[in-house]
A and B are shown apart, each in its own frame.
Chain A
Amino acid sequence: GNSVTQMEGPVTLSEEAFLTINCTYTATGYPSLFWYVQYPGEGLQLLLKATKADDKGSNKGFEATYRKETTSFHLEKGSVQVSDSAVYFCALRSYNQGGKLIFGQGTELSVKP
């Protein structure tokens, strides 16, 4: 079945450091890929998405490129801020499974000033 694997956390960075959170997936067909963010005490928010191969999703300085050849959707940001501290979830959605989202295990990011 479909699955998503993320790098394990927690990830601790200093402010203005470069961030990469790896995400790889297994899926049949052509899934859409997403990154969600969960700030402390809040629900999930969609951060960015890509719906086809080579698409790049971007938002709030974060980027991720849909790489079909490596089945990856790594999240990157050039310069993180303390306010980026949160849990990040990679997810895929495949319409051959009723459109439900399949999540990775989440990666906790802690940014220190």
Chain B
Amino acid sequence: ETGVTQSPTHLIKTRGQQVTLRCSSQSGHNTVSWYQQALGQGPQFIFQYYREEENGRGNFPPRFSGLQFPNYSSELNVNALELDDSALYLCASRSQGFGEKLFFGSGTQLSVL
């Protein structure tokens, strides 16, 4: 058990809608990152937040956005959902300056119909 919690666990949306996924970091971790994992693939880096600022981003369009709150919890927002956005969305936390080992949450399975 990593201490990283995500909600909801499953979500069904239709194309064009917007979705917000939530993550609560492990206690003491000040850095959170989000990954998208399509079926049968490895996780793909979306972005990272440190001290409430986005400080790293992968190859994802601007309709993927996020927030980090003072308590280090985080949100991932996806606008104008597309069918290809169907995937497992993983939140991972770590403590900046203490290595790059990631602690993943159980993920949110998003299905876009």
Q: Do A and B bind each other?
A: no
Q: Measuring CB to CB, which residues of chain A are less than 8 angstroms from any residue of chain B?
A: none
